[in-house]
A = this chain, B = another copy of it.
Amino acid sequence: MKDKSSILAVGTVAIDAVETPLGKRDKCFGGSASYFSYAASFFTSVKIVAVVGDDFPAEYRAVLEQKGVDLSGIEVRKGEKTFFWRGKYKGAMNEAETLATELNALLAFKPLLALQDTQPVLFLANVDPEIQYKVIEQKKGSKFTVMDTMNFWIQNKLETLKKVLAKIDALVVNEGEARQLTGESNLIRAGEALRCMGPSHVIVKKGEHGVLLFGDEGFFALPAYPVKDVYDPTGAGDSFAGGMVGYIAKTGTYDFATLRQALIWGTVVASFTVEDFSLERLIRLKPDELQQRYNDFVKIIRL
């Protein structure tokens, strides 16, 4: 039996605490897989593989269920707590200062895929590359695999990370990670060097400066959508990936032209994410608002 979802997303489902110049939340819904799957669910169906503790709030679960996200792959570990992250942003909010990371249930995360996990698209959010590698080995029927990572793994698990890179189709990283992974300060050279490590498509996220795409058919650069009030940048990258991969999975084609288009959708979804804390703005987002902002954005950037 095939799973009806088109994306399998492996990542974190978390409880966050966030402070920015425009406000704070002592406890809110977070995690890479949460943002990713909520964003992707505007385009297609997603199944999450993750782990939480038995403190994980039912209302957070309901947030994703209401968007049709398949949560059957979320393991609930009894007597343990959910992964917790506390962070703070200052000034232009380009980077989070991590104040606390409590891995909790995440320490025992060993994703076991089900027989029916034959989704054509696999998204590996930022987790230990050893976990990412084991998921790729288990995954059947994958036509397009996208991964994210972070500076910690580049610094501490580079060899495993390189093994994963050799097996994926698209890499999503931010500009600092692109430079760190390649040793190239020029982002164009960095993007090309990353393609040489395996993925045929490399997406470099630059926050307020937009995003770059390096692919087999060339290069594409896209500015960010102009957001005036950034309340909380947490999850912007994950929901960018969600919009992008969601659009790709919906079309079922994996070429350069589709990825260019997917970058626009990812940018538009992420522009909503940052307009409020946690998933709050995404939860209020209606499909026609998304379409309207897409239209507005295209008007801004079209030559």
Is B188 touching A228 in the complex (CB atoms < 8 A)? yes
**A223 interface residue, CB < 8 Å from B?**
yes
Residues of B contacting A301 in the complex (Cβ-Cβ under 8 angstroms)? 220-221, 301, 303
Q: With A and B bound together, what is the CA distance between A186 and B220 in angstroms?
A: 25
Among B187, B226, B303, which residue has its beta carbon within 8 angstroms of that of A188? B226
The proximity string for A residues 217-254 relative to B, scoring 1 for CB distances below 8 Å and 0 otherwise, is 01111111011111000000000000000000000000
Q: Which of A272-303 contact B (CB under 8 A)?
A: 298, 300-303
**A206 interface residue, CB < 8 Å from B?**
yes
**A111 interface residue, CB < 8 Å from B?**
no
Query: Taking CB as reference atom, which chain B residue is nearest A226?
Result: B188
Copies of this chain: 2
Is B264 touching A228 in the complex (CB atoms < 8 A)? no
**A208 interface residue, CB < 8 Å from B?**
yes
Among B179, B210, B218, B302, which residue has its beta carbon within 8 angstroms of that of A303? B302
Q: Given that A92-B185, A185-B91 are contacting pairs, would A220 and B300 also be in contact in the complex, using a CB cutoff of 8 Å?
A: yes
Chain A interfacial positions (CB closer than 8 Å to B): 91-93, 179, 185-189, 192, 206, 208-210, 212, 218-224, 226-230, 260, 264, 298, 300-303
Q: Could you name 21 residue pairs across A and B whose Cβ atoms are closer than 8 Å?
A: A92-B185, A93-B185, A186-B227, A188-B228, A206-B209, A209-B210, A210-B210, A210-B221, A212-B223, A212-B226, A219-B226, A221-B224, A221-B226, A221-B301, A222-B223, A260-B303, A264-B303, A298-B303, A301-B301, A301-B303, A302-B303
